[in-house]
Structure 1
Amino acid sequence: MKENNNEILKIQEISLLLSTINNSLKKVSNKNNDLIIDLQTNNINPSKVLSNINITVGTRGRDIRDSSLGLNNLIYLSLLMMQLEDDTVPKVLSENKMDVIKELEDEECEVLDDCFEKSGDKYILKSDIQKEKYNELYKFFDINRDREASFTLLAIEEPEAHLHPRYKEQFIKK
């Protein structure tokens, strides 16, 4: 049963989310290699597996409930920063959404095919896109997005009261 439950952790959206969380955490923790978030499933009924995924921290897989409050605050802040990231360019598109978007694309412009790869019934943003291609893709989605432009301001009162001294400066720089 545990092996079947672990298959859920291989779902592309979950893998992409985990990778994005770890990249965000690296930014605020000065690339500390021991601060790696991972997910584990328990040996439980498959219908309840999503509600029983555990978050682990570090290379030794320490349960997040056993980590310090400062580390948990750092993880929380990195999740907040991840949520605030510019989402003009989507990381995953359904097949239907890609079909609609391709209709907007100029025939001479092949940026969608260059930047997304099909995986099953989804399109995943490639991770090795050249900067000029990404800028072209960003411009395309900025012009054609289906929502109003906005910006977000995040203010944290006394971050030094919530973070380990080692991480304060790094977080403020980011």
Structure 2
Amino acid sequence: MNTTTWIEILLIMAIAMWTQMGRRAFTTRRIFMPFIVSIIMGQQYLHGIPMSGSNLGALGLCLLVGIVFGGLLLAATTVERDASGVVYTKAGLPYLVIWVLELGSRVAFAYYARSHQQQVGHFLLSHHLSPDVIGSGFMLMTIAMLLTRVLGIVVWGKWVRTSRKAVM
């Protein structure tokens, strides 16, 4: 992994933690900020996504893994509504751990691929996968994770009852 990739991963993590940890009003900005950052940073990976043959299956698997991580994030998030109808989310340590696992999977794979280039290359060739599917797949996984979390909170926020706690 190069320095740019490290900066991207740490920036995504920092923005996610800054905007989502603790008790936060679920505003339009909080909905779109992670997507905007992911798309801006992911343009290098989302440009020319390989969509042929086995690549499509690999990308589908990455989307599915992203949905699972998004479901875990949603399960680690408390959603409440105050007396005025404002929806709040609350995320703590379990939320952080899930993010670390998701982003850590990228780091672990990158280091594995670097130290086992022949095996990874053989795997890609024997399964008719483009090397470009790796970066695209990880970016789609993150976007699917974010989308699952946000849509879950939107749906959950419409059905959650008013919290009995006063908003301070």
Give the TM-score, by structure 1 length.
0.28
Does 1 or 2 have the higher relative contact order (CA < 8 Å, sep 6+)?
Answer: 2
Name the structure where helix makes up a greater proportion of residues: 2
Which is greater in Rg? 1
